[in-house]
Structure 1
Amino acid sequence: MKRARVETTHDHAATIAAALRPDNTPSMSTDVSDDVVRTTIERETAGGLQSTVDDYVVNLTVAETVARTAREHDNHE
């Protein structure tokens, strides 16, 4: 089994984690501690692990963008 852990820091880590969890596969787990989101990914092959990590990073980028846009929108009202 191949394993990767991705740790990222966010101002609203719980919001980012909540946005990511619906896209997690059974081989993924995400938790939050303070301002850190930790996602562990396990796959049978290195290629499968790489594909899943790549997908996760795209999802993370989208979650950050949506959260930032929502905060900016709330601050302008």
Structure 2
Amino acid sequence: MSRRATIRTDHDDATLVARALDPDNTDEMTTTVERDGVVDGTDGDDRTGTVVTRIDRETTSGLQSTVDDYVVNLAVAIDIASQARPVQDDRPTDTGPVSDHDTDSDTTHNE
């Protein structure tokens, strides 16, 4: 008899969170993204959704260990997703030359 757990978490960028989790998933785990109850996998275009991870293990202790690991990985994935979002900035991206003045210093080397 196998033990099962399903973990559902809502995110503003569910696809990015699911992709960040994917490398750590084992063969006993599947992670998908649902939007309005429809499974999109991890290739959807809409950002907001629910990450659904199903874990299936043979023993209770194995399930507990896998869920513990997943929760840690999820926290890291959420942090990655929040850091990856573009931030609007009012500053210009091109500030031009560092100085508008010619230099007074002698850059030639007389030996």
TM-score, structure 1 normalization: 0.92
Identity, % of aligned positions = 53
After TM superposition, where is structure 1 displaced by more than 2 Å over at least 4 residues in a row? none
Describe the SS at the equivalent of 2:32: strand
Gaps of 5+ in 2: 36-48, 90-111
Bigger radius of gyration: 2
Shift of 1:76: 4.7
On the 8 A contact 2:20/2:80 being kept in 1, the answer is: no
Deviations 1:22-41 (A, max 9, x none): 11000000110120000000
Deviations 1:19-72 (A, max 9, x none): 11111000000110120000000111101000000000000000001111122x
What is the root-mean-square deviation of aligned Cα atoms in Å? 1.0
The answer for the alignment partner of 2:13 in structure 1 is: 12
Q: Which has the higher contact order (CA 8 A, sep 6+)?
A: 1
Query: How many positions carry a matched residue from both structures?
Result: 75
TM-score, structure 2 normalization: 0.65
The answer for the alignment partner of 1:70 in structure 2 is: 84
The answer for the alignment partner of 2:23 in structure 1 is: 22
